[in-house]
């Protein structure tokens, strides 16, 4: 490597590292059972650029999410235009890109068809912040009353508008979209949303659902506790990855 190409090589290495992390969370989410319809996708920004890394349309090539690898991740611009990769990006990339355009704080987005959270959308009931893991969804998870694919910029804007400044939205008769500040945290947020939906449903079978109060939410998410909300559980989810270190 000569010095003239040093910066470029460094940037490419960083992009490959991001692709590895993205591929890993696809495998973890698969192992965790959150792709019940065998489809879904996670994306991230490439820091300092207007580019986004996202899953390719791997099903068209016979690939599957259980074996997501770096070559299954492709690059698009923030308008959803295909820049680089072996296969074109997923059609629903606009559910990601339109959020990045209006939420500079969001660094990663995930879309899945989690059954319990999606059922709340079908029933028209907002998921409430129940249990400590539900704190990040306060005061409630909005529902987008639109049940088609998010495969155009206009449809993506509807998702971005509905999620607002929150971290989750349920797409009625379809699935969910969640956001976070890192690839790992958006994976954790997706699991937390489905677990919160299950807990809400379980409580509703027993009696009145009494969600966390504002002060209880604050006690879970204030200061270092926000970091711990994610950092204390990442090891659990990371261990779901069926690939050994030598395969990554
Ligand atoms: Zn979908």
Determine the pLDDT at residue 36.
73
Identify the CATH number of the domain in which residue 243 sits.
3.40.225.10
143-161 confidence digits (pLDDT tens): 999 989 999 999 999 999 9
Classify residue 247 by burial, with Cβ atoms within 10 Å: 0-12, 13-18, 19+: exposed
Per-residue pLDDT band for 175 (boundaries 50, 70, 90) equals very high
For the chain, the domain total comes to: 1
Determine the pLDDT at residue 12.
77
Are 127 and 196 within 8 A, CB to CB?
yes
91-144 confidence digits (pLDDT tens): 999 999 999 999 999 999 999 999 999 999 999 999 999 999 999 999 999 999
- 28 Cα–ligand 1 center, Å: 18
- 8 Cα–ligand 1 center, Å: 35
- 222 Cα–ligand 1 center, Å: 33
- 111 Cα–ligand 1 center, Å: 7
195-238 confidence digits (pLDDT tens): 999 999 999 999 999 999 999 999 999 989 999 999 999 999 99
- 37 Cα–ligand 1 center, Å: 9
- 119 Cα–ligand 1 center, Å: 14
In the chain the first and final C-alpha atoms are separated, in Å, by 24
- 50 Cα–ligand 1 center, Å: 24
- 206 Cα–ligand 1 center, Å: 32
Determine the pLDDT at residue 3.
43
- 126 Cα–ligand 1 center, Å: 19
Segment 7-34 mean pLDDT: 89
| Domain assignment of residue 76, given as a range | 3-247
- 92 Cα–ligand 1 center, Å: 7
Percent of the chain whose predicted confidence (pLDDT) is above 90 = 86
């Amino acid at each position: 490597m000569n010095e003239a190409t040093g910066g470029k090589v460094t940037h490419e290495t960083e992009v490959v590292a991001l692709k590895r992390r993205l591929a890993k969370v696809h495998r973890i989410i698969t192992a965790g059972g959150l792709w019940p319809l065998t489809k879904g996708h996670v994306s991230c920004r490439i820091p300092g650029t207007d580019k986004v890394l996202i899953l390719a349309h791997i099903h068209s090539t016979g690939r599957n999410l259980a074996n997501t690898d770096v070559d299954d991740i492709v690059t698009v611009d923030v308008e959803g235009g295909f820049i680089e990769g072996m296969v074109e990006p997923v059609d629903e990339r606009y559910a990601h890109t339109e959020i990045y355009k209006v939420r500079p704080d969001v660094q990663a987005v995930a879309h899945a068809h989690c059954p319990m959270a999606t059922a709340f959308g079908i029933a028209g009931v907002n998921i409430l912040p129940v249990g400590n893991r539900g704190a990040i969804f306060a005061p409630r998870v909005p529902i987008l009353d639109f049940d088609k694919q998010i495969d155009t910029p206009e449809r993506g804007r509807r998702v971005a508008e509905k999620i607002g400044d929150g971290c989750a939205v349920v797409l009625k008769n379809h699935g969910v979209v969640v956001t976070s500040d890192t690839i790992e945290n958006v994976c954790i947020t997706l699991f937390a949303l489905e677990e919160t939906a299950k807990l809400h449903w379980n409580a509703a079978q027993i009696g009145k659902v009494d969600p966390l109060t504002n002060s209880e939410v604050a006690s879970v998410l204030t200061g270092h506790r926000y970091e711990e909300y994610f950092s204390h559980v990442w090891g659990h989810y990371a261990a779901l990855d069926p690939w050994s270190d030598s395969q990554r």
